[in-house]
A and B are shown apart, each in its own frame.
Chain A
Amino acid sequence: MRNRLKVLRAERDWSQAELAGRLDVSRQAVNAIETGKHDPSLPLAFRIARLFDMRIEEIFDDEL
């Protein structure tokens, strides 16, 4: 699944570790989500959406 996580993170000038800490996951998890190797669970997807104040489908798209 494609996502805009890397772009959103870069817009806020956050490192992967910073984003990982804010989401309470490992830096490796953030990297895996950004590169599309790992799809986050629904609770984590909601946490990501709340953190960026967006809807889930604005960040994740399975048709990109």
Chain B
Amino acid sequence: MTNFDPPRTGTGMSEGAVMLVRIAIVIGGVIALIFLGATAVGFISAVTEGDNTSATDIAIISGILLAMAGVIYATWRFWPRVTSGEGLSAGPGEVRTRQRNRTQMLYIGVAAGIGGVIGLATGLFDQGDGNLFGGDWEDLKLPPLLALVLAALLMGAFMVLPLYGFRMIDDYKREQNFIAFTGGCVSVLAGFPVWAVLHAGGFVPPPHAFGIFAIAYVSMFVSFIYARWRL
């Protein structure tokens, strides 16, 4: 969950570059919202047709809605803002700050690009009727070579990029990210046995792979928001 904050005043980019970034953010945001919205609608319709809504279904729908809120928040956060005072102050420190921001924007662009390639590839070449969120693994079909490529891209997106991102951020943001990762990790360590025990007691459906993933992701997000608020 490595994050980078854009500058609040001044972008360090030319007007043309600012416009390009804004267009990219709008296109990316709209595509992400359409994808998530369609996923949510499809899942809700499948759940209502099945007539057996479970707590897992509600958790999945909540997770998708949370992701949509995250996209909207990210759009607001990363929207380049140009102030009237930009360009007046150009000390060596501010020049380096702008270089740092440009590097971070490039990192975000690469991450978004990888996400887009993964989403596009799975959407175009999906050969089965399976649903990643539903856990019907038998119906999930991808060409083997594409599956290998996507696995490599996912490793890059979920392991290499975040670890590399830790090298780009300072102590302050690293502390926030450590809290976020700790929150996600602890939630899974506690969440799985708690879920299993509650299932054994007849309270909830059996543990679900995507549910565990969602617990980690949502907990990480909530922990990060908490760290940003407290630190």
Chain A residues within 8 Å of B, Cβ to Cβ: 14-15, 17-29, 32-33, 37-38, 40-41, 44
Contacts and interface: CB of A to CB of B under 8 A. Distances in A.
B96 A26 contact: no
B5 A28 contact: yes
A44 B93 contact: no
Interface in B175-222: 175
B94 interface: yes
Contact of B96 (A14, A21, A40): A21
Counting contact residues on chain B (CB < 8 A from A), the size range is: 20 to 34
Given A22-B96, A29-B172, A41-B171, A17 B7 contact: yes
B71 interface: no
A17 B170 contact: no
Contact of B93 (A21, A28, A29, A41): A21
| Interface residues of chain B: helix, strand, loop or mixed (majority) | helix
A28 B172 contact: yes
A38 B97 contact: no
Contacts of A37: 231
19 contacts: A14-B91, A17-B10, A17-B93, A18-B93, A18-B94, A21-B97, A23-B93, A25-B170, A26-B5, A27-B7, A27-B8, A28-B5, A28-B173, A29-B170, A29-B173, A37-B231, A38-B175, A38-B231, A44-B171
Interface centre among B9, B95, B97 (most CB of A within 10 A): B97
B88 to A, nearest CB: 10
B100 A21 contact: yes
